[in-house]
Structure 1
Amino acid sequence: MLDAVRRAWEGQADVSLATLFAMLANRGIGWGSSDEDLLCELAELERQHPGELPLIDARVTARYLLQTEEPAHRVTVDPWRIIARRPGVTTQPGVWDYATVRTAVVGGPLVLTSADGIEHRLGVLSRITLLDATPTASVTSLDGLRRRAMGDAVYLIVLEDDSQVLLSGALEHFAAGRRELRQESRSWEQLLRCTPGEAFTVQPGGVDYAAVRQILVVEA
């Protein structure tokens, strides 16, 4: 039992032990709960926020969000790719295929090796969150999606002109020029068209961008 508490707490080391048990209370654990019920809920907390990123042959089989400090990053990792962002910094998300993830433990350094052998050191890992246990490589369409239905989801839309759209409650369009990165932020209410092979069209204004190449899940 104590080992199960330790594992669940390691995944959320920034909360107090009292807060951890308050979280369990919100999941129905109370005076009448059995040890088996408590172990089950602790295991679920550990699954959602593991203290160590589950790896098979140095890769993941699910989709996770990795948050780091010093410097801060939000890193999405799944069986196909890495998507790295700098919160609060206006910069285009980095997307690359990866070869390996070194042992990733909360409180330790996050080091990822790209498919071409380059090591990326992305700070000290502060939290791991399971986003999807059975992810797909990409999204087939977001046609008709409305902003108010987004929730906390974040998508990266890669366009055929090699520009990118980071879509959340706002829309950020990144286009690399010869000497600088051009970034445009705008509000949006609905995606009229967002399907690979078709022009990316946004309301209000019916703004057309280049054709969509790929739609990637960043957070969901």
Structure 2
Amino acid sequence: MKDPTRIPRVLDAVRRAWEGRPDLELATLFAMLGNEGIGWGADDEELIAALEAMAARHPESADTDTPGLVMVRTESPAARLTLDMAARRVTVRSGVKGRQPVSWLFEDVVRLRVGMPCVLRDSGGVDHRLGVVAGITVEAGRRARTSLRGLTRGSLDRDVYALRCTEGKTERMVLAGRGLDVYAKVGREVEHEHLKWARLVSAEVGEQLRVAPRGGGAEHVYGEVIEIFAVELGAED
């Protein structure tokens, strides 16, 4: 007879993995494990290892000590948050199409747990409530690029980067991903442009952001790059 005391440990691993992804049905969770080769014939240690890996990538909660980038889906309001724990930066992308993303530095993660409001504290000690957390994805194994010069659309895969640019009195935030979204603040208004792009001809801090559009034609120039940071690395699985 196998040791029955192993059962609570296995069930605890299931609980931790499932609590990080509560929208999934339990059968769906096990189907996903099956896609990883955990099925008939897999022993309990293999199952626990797979569940722990799942829980590490999609934890129930995260805090200031969580490494890498932490990507958060929220509801009420719907948004996508990216927390760079090393730089203490949060970038918020609204679920409303065309709305400009915002990015600022935070001091501490007050609360970041699935099913609870996300609360971040800024350097002035003010707490910001940023919606109810629907899911967390941790990307700890990759480093963000510091230069995007010469990159093609295909080389970014599913990554998304932000570039802050200035041109005279005009400030722009450019999101480079599957498409190129340019948000320019002109007075009190924010103008939004969407571009199908092929290559970032120049995209380093201190140089002009020049973009070659898909299909050819004149390059688009968006001003001097003053900052580059990742807002998404990899895809949710």
TM-score (norm 2): 0.86
Q: Which consecutive unaligned segments of at least 5 residues does structure 2 have?
A: 1-9
Alignment of 1:9-28 (within 5 A): 9-28=18-37
1:63–1:135 Cα contact (<8 Å) kept: no
**Alignment equivalent of 2:67, drawn from 51, 61, 70:** 61
In structure 2, C-alpha distance between the alignment counterparts of 1:116 and 1:8, rounded to whole Å? 35
Q: How many corresponding residue pairs?
A: 215
Could you say what secondary structure the match of 1:97 adopts?
strand
In structure 2, C-alpha distance between the alignment counterparts of 1:11 and 1:146, rounded to whole Å? 34
Q: Which consecutive unaligned segments of at least 5 residues does structure 1 have?
A: none
Deviates more, 1:82-91 or 1:121-130: 82-91
Name the larger-Rg structure: 2
In structure 2, C-alpha distance between the alignment counterparts of 1:104 and 1:133, rounded to whole Å? 21
**Alignment equivalent of 1:106, drawn from 108, 114, 126:** 114
**Alignment equivalent of 2:162, drawn from 151, 156, 159:** 156
Given the superposition, is the C-alpha separation of residues 135 and 103 from structure 1 closer, same or farther in structure 2, using an over 3 Å criterion?
farther
Could you report, residue by residue, the CA deviation over 1:126-168 in whole angstroms, capped at 9, with x for unpaired residues?
Answer: 00001234645xx321112111332211110111343210111
Partner of residue 181, structure 2: 172
**Alignment equivalent of 2:220, drawn from 180, 190, 207:** 207
Alignment of 1:1-220 (within 5 A): 1-56=10-65, 60-79=66-85, 80=87, 81-133=89-141, 135=143, 139-161=145-167, 162-204=171-213, 205-220=218-233
Please report how far the alpha carbon of residue 184 of structure 1 lies from its aligned counterpart in structure 2 after TM superposition. 1.7
CA root-mean-square deviation = 1.5
Identity over aligned residues, as a percent? 39
| Runs of 4+ residues over 6 Å off in structure 1 | none
Could you say what secondary structure the match of 1:130 adopts?
strand
Partner of residue 7, structure 2: none
In structure 2, C-alpha distance between the alignment counterparts of 1:98 and 1:55, rounded to whole Å? 10
In structure 1, C-alpha distance between the alignment counterparts of 2:189 and 2:96, rounded to whole Å? 19
1:108–1:124 Cα contact (<8 Å) kept: yes
Please report how far the alpha carbon of residue 187 of structure 1 lies from its aligned counterpart in structure 2 after TM superposition. 1.6
Could you report, residue by residue, the CA deviation over 1:106-135 in whole angstroms, capped at 9, with x for unpaired residues?
Answer: 111111111222322111100000123464
1:107–1:125 Cα contact (<8 Å) kept: yes
Could you say what secondary structure the match of 1:43 adopts?
helix
In structure 2, C-alpha distance between the alignment counterparts of 1:21 and 1:106, rounded to whole Å? 20
In structure 1, C-alpha distance between the alignment counterparts of 2:181 and 2:142, rounded to whole Å? 28
Deviates more, 1:64-73 or 1:164-173: 164-173
TM-score (norm 1): 0.92
